[in-house]
Amino acid sequence: NAGVTQTPKFRILKIGQSMTLQCTQDMNHNYMYWYRQDPGMGLKLIYYSVGAGITDKGEVPNGYNVSRSTTEDFPLRLELAAPSQTSVYFCASSYYHGGEQYFGPGTRLTVT
């Protein structure tokens, strides 16, 4: 099993550009999450999903959108990138809500 995979690993965006961060898991987990981690800080929940077709906002959803059309995939969309979105983004999945979370390797995003 590959676990949780994320692409790309690194990306530089210009202000106002858009992009999609990809996340795929092969563990058949219903629950999936997107976090951002700023330098020296903890993880902040952006969005989460409890199953295909069901998503909900986390602590810091502004400027982001998500979709969940399949159990495996949970892409994160950034519209109109801003410097405040410079961060490392982690995708995670779990078998049940709040249970052990399996994290991907992260995407380091810089907006200039």
Applying the rule CB under 8 A, the residues between 17 and 76 that interact with other proteins are 33, 35, 40-45, 48, 50, 56, 58-59
- Selected from 90, 93, 109, 111, the binder of other proteins by CB under 8 A is 90
User: What's the closest the beta carbon of residue 80 comes to other proteins, in angstroms?
Assistant: 26
Interface with other proteins: number of residues (CB under 8 A): 26
Rounded Cα gap, residues 75 and 89, in angstroms: 12
Look up residue 97 and give its two tokens: 């809500």
Cα-flanking dihedrals φ and ψ of residue 58, to 5°?
A: -100, -145
Query: Residue 84 has what DSSP assignment?
Result: G
User: What's the closest the beta carbon of residue 97 comes to other proteins, in angstroms?
Assistant: 5
Nearer to other proteins, 32 or 78 (CB): 32
User: What's the closest the beta carbon of residue 56 comes to other proteins, in angstroms?
Assistant: 7
Which one, of 63, 62, 68, lies nearest residue 91 by Cα?
Answer: 68
Instruction: Tell me which residue has tokens 């219903």.
Output: 30
DSSP state letters, 18-33: -EEEEEEESS--SEEE
Name the residues that contact other proteins, by CB under 8 A. Answer: 4, 33, 35, 40-45, 48, 50, 56, 58-59, 90, 92, 96-101, 103-106
